[in-house]
Structure 1
Amino acid sequence: MLTRLRRGAAVTSAVMAAALMLAACGGGSSTSPAASTSDGTASPAAAQTGSAATFNLTPDQNRIRTEKVDAIAALVPQEIRDRGTIRITGSAGTAPPLRFYADDDTTLIGSEVDLAELFSDVLGLQVEEGTADWAQNFVRIDSGEADAFISNVTVTEERKEKYDFATYRQDTLGLESRADDPWTVSGRKDLAGKVIAVGSGTNQEKLLVDWNEANVADGLAPIDIKYFQNSTDYYLALSSGRIDGYLGPNPTAQFHAASTGETTVIGTFSGAGDALQGEIAVLSLKGNGLAQAYAAAINHTIENGTYQQVLDRWQLGSEAVDKSEINPPGLPKTG
């Protein structure tokens, strides 16, 4: 569990630990390119102090809200409409800025919570937030204990056999460099000869290994891939110049860069490779109609601007989608 995050060293340590947790256990999710990269400046919802942004990590979030739309609310399955609440499940204590605990160690906050609340506003429903370990979230959907799984869930072909999806965010990796020594990167060839750290056993490690093999096949210098035992060692190595960059989940990279001012995100990439754009989506039981309601609600918040405001609040504006889609192509089955 993440508790009592503060700027400076405490934020660096906690965010890095959370980033590794998300990367290693993100439900098999992979990632895809964002439309643009962030310059690390604070969003309107974050107070600027020097070169670092201060995020609201208290239980009192003063969330961005919107109005109910009757025509969209009518798309919600009758049983849920009669109940008046939507039961949301997701992981907790994973990684800022996605879904984590406020500084009271009890209240769930983060971009995923804000978006769940925003979409529910359009649907005219009160949110009942629940938490579970990653695999248990699927069990809660299967059993009917929860209606929707909103917690950085990537669309995959295997999951589409059992669930419906309504997309709301791109799924990306971010490459961090020191803020005082940024360098230019647009693709794998720019990493030739560089020392890059990555978490072992993660999606981004597979991508980095694939890039290195392709670079070597093209006659370029190999990428020197580094691994560290402790979570904080990645950022210590970056600050000391022992590595040129750290490849990890983009949301935590953006949050770390904005919180500390010590790093900057110099590139975002598709964790699924060049052939596919991964998507983060609301997951619900296949065929119950909830995905259609969510897609309409998401598109309404995109149109009225509140969706972008939530993403900007957590430094995730670069992961915005132009339109929510139902069951788009997902990551292919493995094996």
Structure 2
Amino acid sequence: MKRLVVWIAGIVATVSLVACGSTSQKQSAPAGSLLEQIKEKGVLKVGTEGTYAPYTYHDESGKLVGYDVEVAEKVAEKLGVKAEFVETEWDSIIAGLDAGRFDIIANQVGVTDERKEKYDFSTPYTYIYGALITSKDDTTTKAFSDIKGKKSANSLTSNWAEVAKSNGAEIVGVDGFQQAIELLASKRVDVTINDNVAYLDYIKQHPDAPVKVAALSEDAQETALPVVKGNDDLVAAINQALKELADEGVLTELSKKYFGDDVSQVKK
């Protein structure tokens, strides 16, 4: 009889634990889709570097500015919310998206087949051409194929590092474009590969820098806003926002403001 009582009590306890667990899971589960949550909170959280001029950086007053920053702000406005930026180093920014620290990344994230396996991307808002940058007195590096066996300064997880590797270069890791240029100017590396507009922005501010563009890529790199898969409604809303911004000429206006050229469209 005692065994029967203990057995019944055990079943009751087990059922109670399962019921409590189910209730707890329901209470902790977020309500609605990510887009609905964003609209309910009134905030679109945006991961960005804050150290990558002219895309995302701090001006003399300390304000976060840049092409990507303003694009994200305009997209947020179209969604009816406010953009809240979470500044993160590039090498950990993708992990931040995975961990839910922010909803999107606005930091010139290139659209690649590998990334598309894990993330959904908005329509591109930037078309960038790769620039092979060398010292001014370098007469041997004239094409991407010439960098085999040479040292290239690049952020380890950037698309440009992959371009350098594919052409046979040895990668020297750096935290950003300015550090890459400093290593190049001091002859500690042979080349660096980055986008052409970042180079133009740097030269505008450092006209005496002893570096030059030796070659440009034939194809453009598309950059877009990545979102963790499973949020189709958010991607659709962002795409609609970008379309409206393009149709209204806002993307062209922002491009010319920061680059003196329209980087929001493919060069014909």
Indicate whether the TM-score tops 0.5: yes
Aligned to 1:279: 222
Task: State whether residues 175 and 265 of structure 1, in contact with CA within 8 Å, keep that contact through their aligned partners in structure 2.
Answer: yes
* Aligned equivalent of 1:315: 259
Q: Displacement of 1:177 after TM fit?
A: 6.9
**1:266: Cα distance to partner?**
6.2
Is contact 2:44–2:76 with CA below 8 Å preserved after alignment?
Answer: yes
Partner of 2:60, secondary structure, is coil
Distance verdict in 2 for CA 1:205–1:165, change over 3 Å: closer
CA apart distance, 1:258: 2.0
Which of 261, 265, 268 lines up with 2:207 in the alignment?
Answer: 261
1:198 maps to a residue whose letter is S
TM-score, with normalisation over the residues of structure 2?
Answer: 0.63
Q: CA separation of 1:177/1:125 partners in 2, compared to 1, >3 Å: closer, same or farther?
A: same
Shift of 1:141: 3.1
- The alpha carbon displacement at 1:246 in A equals 5.6
Change beyond 3 A, Cα 1:207–1:320: same
Larger Rg: 2
Asked whether the equivalents of residues 90 and 131 of structure 1 are also in contact (C-alpha less than 8 Å), the reply is: yes
Structure 1 residues 164, 206: CA separation in 2 closer, same or farther (over 3 Å shift)? closer
Q: Does 1:174 align with 2:174?
A: no
Q: Give the aligned partner of residue 106 of structure 2.
A: 150
C-alpha RMSD of matched pairs (Å): 4.2
2:185 to 202, 210, 235: 235
Supply the distance in 2 between the matched residues of 1:290 and 1:226 (Cα, whole angstroms): 36
1:306 equivalent in alignment to 2:262: no
CA contact (8 A) 2:154 2:171 kept: no
The answer for unaligned runs of 5 or more in structure 1 is: 1-75, 214-224, 238-242, 323-335
Q: What is the aligned partner in structure 1 of residue 57 from structure 2? A: 100
The change in CA–CA distance for 1:316 and 1:286 in structure 2 (over 3 A counts) is farther
| Structure 1 residues 55-94: Cα deviation after superposition (integer angstroms, max 9, x where no partner) | xxxxxxxxxxxxxxxxxxxxx933322222211112232x
Q: Which moved more, 1:119-128 or 1:129-138?
A: 129-138
Q: Count residues in correspondence.
A: 222
Where in structure 2 are the equivalents of 1:86-97 lying within 5 Å?
86-93=44-51, 95-97=52-54
- Structure with the larger RCO, 1 or 2 (CA within 8 Å, 6+ apart): 1
Question: Larger helix proportion, structure 1 or 2?
Answer: 2
For 1:127, the equivalent position in structure 2 comes to 83
* Contact 1:199/1:248 (<8 A) preserved: no
Aligned in 2, Cα 1:163/1:209: closer, same or farther, shift over 3 Å? Answer: closer
Structure 2 counterpart of 1:307, one-letter code:
L
| Residue aligning to 1:252 | 198
2:152 equivalent to 1:198: yes
Q: How does 1:9-20 map to 2 (within 5 A)?
A: none
